Amino acid sequence: DLKVFILGEANVGKTTLLYRYIEGVFQDQISTIGASFFLKQWGKRHVSLWDTAGEERFSGLSNLYCRGASAVIMAFDVTRPSSFHSLRSRFLPLVEYANHNCLVVVTATKVDLAKDTTPIITMAQGLEFTKTLNKELQLTTVPYFETSSKTGKDVTEVFEYVFRHCFPDENLHKKTPPVHIKSRSSTVDLETQSNDEETMKVGCC
């Protein structure tokens, strides 16, 4: 029902963010080679969360997997300004491959390190950038979040915002439990994926 894609440079914590949300644990030093995806059920809706490697050599994969996405999460390391600026210069063009009027959420990661490392990207900078990405959408709040996968700060809020926006008619007042996780790999075998989905069980509300 819904495809969500996460973009950002290598080592900004994209995969760690997904693991924290889905499994509720902090796993540092996780690297994605190529692409990986996770399946989740939110109410009666099925969601696929896609993650790709941030290295430039995998840009072609990002173009491919962005197709059909209704929401994109752009992640950057709050302690590394270059990762924030690359969202506009390198990753924003990939959003053009997503669906029309795609929701773009901007997420600052590693805010638990912000006090120990300088320089950092301020909340004002993040909010202003995020506003420019969603001009065509009538949003009541700006989809910008400052998160920490280590402490869990606002990680769930990122994904719940996406789901509530994309499924506005769903009357869900409680958060759904995390789900079955597909094993990560550099390629996705669609035939194998189809067979696996017949046998796996996904948690429901």
pLDDT one-digit tens code per residue, 191-202? 334 344 333 333
Full-model pTM: 0.78
Query: For the chain, which domains are there?
Result: 2-199 (3.40.50.300)
* Cis ω for the linkage preceding 119 (within 30 of 0): yes
Alpha carbons 49 and 47: distance in angstroms, whole number:
6
pLDDT per residue as tens digits for the range 61-78? 566 778 899 999 999 999
CA nearest neighbour of 181 among 6, 17, 37, 15:
37
